[in-house]
Amino acid sequence: MASDSLPDSPRPRRTAKKWWKESTVYQVYPASFKDSNGDGIGDIPGITSKLDYIKNLGADIIWLNPIFCSPQIDMGYDVSDYYNIYRPFGTVDDLDRLTAGIHERGMKLVLDLVVNHTSDQHRWFQEARSSRFNPYRDWYVWKKPTFDADGNRRPPNNWKSYFGGSVWEYDDLTGEYYLHLFAKEQPDLNWENPYVRAAVHDIVRYWLNKGADGFRMDAINLISKDQSFPDAPVTDPNSRWQDGTKYFACGPRLHEYLQGIGKILKQYDAFSVGEMPEIYDLNEILRSVGDDRSELSMVFHFEIVSLDHGAGGKFTSRTWTLNELKTVVSKWQTYMHNNNGWNALYLENHDQPRIVSRFGSDTQEHLALSAKMLATFLGFQSGTLFIYQGQELGLPNVPKTWSLDQYRDIETLNHWHENQKSPHPESYLQEYRLKSRDNARTPMPWDSSPNAGFSTAHPWIPVNDNHISLNAATQITQKESVYNFWASILHLRKKYPDVLVYGTFELLDPDHEHVFAYIRRASSAHAIVVMNFKSNEVKWSVPACFQRNGHGRILLANYTRSLPLDSTITLRPFESFIWFSDSEHSEARL
C-alpha cells in the first residue's frame, strides 16, 4: 500500500518543457478496436480507418498494445517474433500505412515493448530449451531442481507467479526449471546476459528507424532479478507459493538496464512510459524518470488502481475512502513536480476495469455524469494524460449477466481454475464482474448496428449489449456527450498548458469525505477543480480563494453552475467543474 510519508523534497523547480509532456495518449487495444476484414478480430487496417476519430478527440499519441507475432496466450504479451506482425492483425506494410496515416495527421505512434519475457514459441526459447549447451540457453533463467526430505522434486524457490502457481516450470528434456513471472508460456529473459540486452536494443532501434516515436515498456521494473533467487518470506500460510516481488521488482541492475535503452531513446527524442507494478518507493521511481537520468519519460504506478484490491489479492474486495485517493494523488502530483519527474495519468487500460463502474456509477441516471466527473478529476492533473479506447465514451464494465464462459482473459480463467473449489466461489464471480481485465476488452462500440459496427462477423469476445444506446456515432453528434466533454478537456490542456500541463498542484479541503478539489497554478493564472464523488448531493464550504476572486469563470462543468459561488454550495450527484482565472485578474497568491 501507499507509504504515507513523503521523501524530502527540494524546492520546486521549473519543469522542463517537452513535446510528450503536452501530449495526450490514446490507447488502442488492436483486437477490439475495429475489424476491417470480417474475421471478428480487430486489425491494423481497422485502426487506420479510424484515425480521424482519434484525431478529432484531440489525442496526440496513439499507443498500440502488442501487435507482434504471438500465440496469444496472453493477448500478444507473449511475443514469438519482434520483427513481424501477428497475421490476423495485418502485415508490416499495414503498419507502415498506419504509421504514415498517424504522422500525416501530426500524431505520434507508440509501440508496446514486451521484453521481460518472450513467448515459449520464440526461436530463442526453442533453442534454449533444446539443450543445456545451446548458445541460447543462458538467454533465459534456468535452475536445477531441489528435493525435499522424501526425495520429491521441488522448484528452486517458492515464488508465486502473477497468473497463479509457481514461477518455475520443469522442462523434462533437460531436467531443469525455467523462470516465468507470468504464464508458463511466457519465460523470463535473462537480462544479466549482454546478448539479451543487445538483442533488445536492436528491436528498439529497428522500430524507431521504422517510424515509431516511442514505447510503452511492459512490466519493465521486473527485468533485473536478485541473482541468489532466495525463498520469499511466507506471507500467505495457505499457499505453497509466496510473493517474491521484493527480489525482482526494481532489482539491483534495473537502472543500468534502463539507461542502456534510454541512451537509444534519447538519440531519437523518443517517448517512453514504463509499466512499474509493485513499487511504492517514490525515490526509486524518480531514479527512473528524473529529468537528468536518461531512463524513462514516465511510469505507470499502481497505487490508484489497487485501492480496491483486498488482502487476498486483486479478486478480493476492499472498501476504500476518498481520503486515501487524495493522499495518493497529492503525493505523486507534488513529488514529481518538486523533483523534476513527470507523471503518467491513467485510470483505465487493458488490464483495468472501466472506471465508471469502479469509482463512479454505471446506472443509467449517473453513467454519463460520473464519467465526466472522473474525466475532470484526471484530465486537469499534471502529467501526460492516457485515455483508453472507450473511456472517452464513458463505457461501463461488461453486463452483470455475463457467465464465466464469456470471459477470455488468462488471469481471470486461471484464477477461477485455482479457486472454484474454494468455500465461496460465487464471491469470485462477483469480483470478476468488478475487476476482470475483460471488462475493458470488449469490442469498441462504433454504432448501434449488429456487432456494434466493430465487425461484420461474430467477434472474438462478446459485444456489450449497451452499444444500442452507448456508441461513438451517437456521441460524436451530441454536444453534451462524454466524448465531447473529453474533447473539451484535451482542448483546454492545449489552450492553457502553463497552468493545466506545467502548473503546480495543491490539494484543497483534504479532509472532506466526498469532495475532491485541487488547485493548479502558474504565475499567470490558476484553476480550481472540484468534484463530488458521491451519487447524492453534498454540501461544500467554498474556500476563501473563490470568494476573494470574483473574476474567474467556469471553463467546463457537467451541470450548469453560475458564479459567484455562495459561501456554502450544494454539489449535485457527481457534479464537477473547473474554475479558471487568468493574468489580469489573478492574484499572485490565493
Active site residues: 218, 275
- Cα 193 off chain centre by: 29
> Which grid coordinates are listed for 313?
489479492
Considering only residues 197 to 256 of the shown chain, the ones binding ligand GLC according to CB under 6 A are 218-219
**Residue number with CB closer to ligand GLC (48 or 442):** 442
Considering only residues 432 to 491 of the shown chain, the ones binding ligand GLC according to CB under 6 A are none
Q: Report what 41 binds from Ca ion, ligand GLC, none; CB cut-off 5-8 Å by kind.
A: Ca ion
Min dist CB 588 to Ca ion, Å, is 57
One of 37, 316, 330, 535 touching Ca ion (CB under 5 A) = 37
* 182 is a site residue for ligand GLC (CB under 6 A): yes
**Cα 72 to Cα 162: distance, rounded to the nearest angstrom:** 17
> Which grid coordinates are listed for 104?
500525416
Tell me the site size for ligand GLC, rule CB under 6 A.
9
Min dist CB 221 to ligand GLC, Å, is 11
For Ca ion, which stretch binds (CB under 5 A), given 40-48, 282-290, 488-496, 541-549? 40-48
Considering only residues 245 to 304 of the shown chain, the ones binding ligand GLC according to CB under 6 A are 275
* 111 is a site residue for ligand GLC (CB under 6 A): no
**Cα 309 to Cα 307: distance, rounded to the nearest angstrom:** 6
Backbone φ and ψ of 299, nearest 5°: -130, 155
**Residue number with CB closer to Ca ion (30 or 353):** 30
**Cα 46 to Cα 49: distance, rounded to the nearest angstrom:** 5
- Cα 152 off chain centre by: 41
Min dist CB 222 to ligand GLC, Å, is 9
* 94 is a site residue for Ca ion (CB under 5 A): no
* 176 is a site residue for ligand GLC (CB under 6 A): no
Maximum CA extent, the chain: 81
The residue sitting closest to ligand GLC, measured at its beta carbon, is 77
What is each CA distance from 180 to 165, 187, 460, 558, in whole angstroms?
10, 4, 27, 46
One of 188, 213, 351, 438 touching ligand GLC (CB under 6 A) = 351
**Residue number with CB closer to ligand GLC (43 or 351):** 351
* 114 is a site residue for ligand GLC (CB under 6 A): yes
> Which grid coordinates are listed for 166?
509457481
Identity of residue 457:
A
**Residue number with CB closer to ligand GLC (30 or 453):** 30
* 41 is a site residue for Ca ion (CB under 5 A): yes
Q: Mind giving me the DSSP string for 235-276? A: S-TT-S-B--GGGTTT-TTHHHHHHHHHHHHHHTT-EEEEE-
* 39 is a site residue for Ca ion (CB under 5 A): yes
> Which grid coordinates are listed for 198?
543487445
Among 577, 505, 523, 522, smallest CA distance to 546 is for 577
Q: Report what 77 binds from ligand GLC, Ca ion, none; CB cut-off 5-8 Å by kind.
A: ligand GLC
**Residue number with CB closer to Ca ion (43 or 243):** 43
What is each CA distance from 529 to 279, 553, 578, in whole angstroms?
29, 12, 4
Strands (E), 277-345: 298-300, 344-345
Among 63, 46, 177, 186, smallest CA distance to 116 is for 186
**Residue number with CB closer to ligand GLC (176 or 351):** 351
Footprint on this chain of ligand GLC (rule: CB under 6 A)? 74, 77, 114, 182, 218-219, 275, 350-351
Footprint on this chain of Ca ion (rule: CB under 5 A)? 35, 37, 39, 41, 43
